[in-house]
Structures are given as C-alpha cells and as structure tokens.
Amino acid sequence: MAGEIPDLVALERTGTGKGAARQVRRDGMVPGIVFGGDAEPLAIQMPFNELLKRLKAGRFKSTLFNLKVDGHDDVRVICRDVQRDVVKDLPTHFDLMRLRRTSRINLFIHVDFINEETAPGLKKGGVLTIVRQEVELEVLAGDIPDHITVDLADKQIGDVIHISDVTLPAGAKPTIDRDFVIANISAPRGLRADDGDEGEEEAAEE
C-alpha cells in the first residue's frame, strides 16, 4: 500500500448554476463537482490560490487524493478534468471522481534504488544515471504501491535497466507498451576519455 495519500480539502457549495459559480469565483474560490461511486454528485469549492498551487506542482490529474469536506466522509478521488479560462489559462472549474477500491487508475510511482554500495559497476567507479525517478503504472485504487524497487546488487558497468527487469507489485502494469529504460551504469568519465584517446592512437598507427 502507498504511504501517505495527500489530503485535498474543499468546502461544500450550496448554489449551482452559472450565476452561483460566478459568485464563487468572485469570492476567490474555484467551483468543482465530485461524482461517481455510490453517492450523488457533490458540489464543492476550493480556494483559488490553493488549487493553482496544486496545478503548478504538476501531475494534479494523476495523483490520488483523500478528499475532506466538512459534513461528509473522507473519500479517495482523482481529478478527471480542470476547465480553464481560454484567455488567462487559469482554473475556472474542476471535476473529481470518487474511486472504489477495485477502480484501476494511472499513477506515477516512485522508483527506489537499493544496494548501490555493493553494485560491482559502481564499486569500480561507474556512474548511476537515473532516467526515470518515477514510473507511471496502472494500479488498483485499493492496492497502490508506495514505490517499486530496482536492485543494483549485481549490476556492472554498461548495464542498462529496463522496466522489464523490475518486479512490479501484483496487479500493477506500465502504461507504456515499450520496454523503456529506467537507469543505466556508465563508465567513469576519465575511463571513457582514456578509451577515446586509445582509439585515436590506434587510428593514427594504422
């Protein structure tokens, strides 16, 4: 299971319709709606600055949130849409979807690298280059992994680690079909330079 699921705090919104939504925006809030699950749609609102900060942080639409609204039970949600002003590109409305534990969703999962201190390639001076610190996976809402693990214990200089080399949690699968690279261990810069010099000398001798 994932560690801490971030809270998303909102207020219930009493009025509906365009007029009420305009008033909400004049009050410095952004109107939204929560739908899906086994409950009726719930009209909500969030402070404009708080929502804008979340959006600027990135991946708002691929993050699982614990929605907290006074007078209602907490519920897991994911953003399905954010409407924006066509001129200012600022949020004017947002849609959240309630999730059942059996719902499948796409989330970015952190990659942990272990046994760096025992990796033969790194002990010889190799350099670990991390291509993806996070990997987007399709997972069950009720069984979200906190991370996936890449074991470097037997990795040598020149080794390339693909997603197919990683044991994924049960029920999780990559959202990208190709066998993409997560990291690699390259030769030390000095060694690469020496190799290049040797190649030039051999070419000169020929």
The stretch 15-22 carries a mean pLDDT of 82
Q: Each residue of 188-197: pLDDT tens digit?
A: 876 555 555 5
Q: Each residue of 100-112: pLDDT tens digit?
A: 888 888 889 999 9
Q: Each residue of 126-162: pLDDT tens digit?
A: 999 999 999 999 998 888 888 999 999 999 999 999 9
Q: Please, are residues 93 and 74 in contact by the beta-carbon 8 Å criterion?
A: no
pLDDT score, position 141: 84
The kind and range of the H/E element at 80 are strand 75-84
pLDDT at 71 over 60: yes
Q: Compute the residue count for the chain.
A: 206
pLDDT score, position 139: 92
pLDDT score, position 1: 43
pLDDT score, position 194: 53
The stretch 23-44 carries a mean pLDDT of 93
The kind and range of the H/E element at 152 are none
The stretch 29-57 carries a mean pLDDT of 94
What SS3 class is residue 204? Answer: helix
For all residues of the chain together, what is the average pLDDT? 88
Q: d(Cα 111, Cα 182) in Å, to the nearest integer?
A: 9
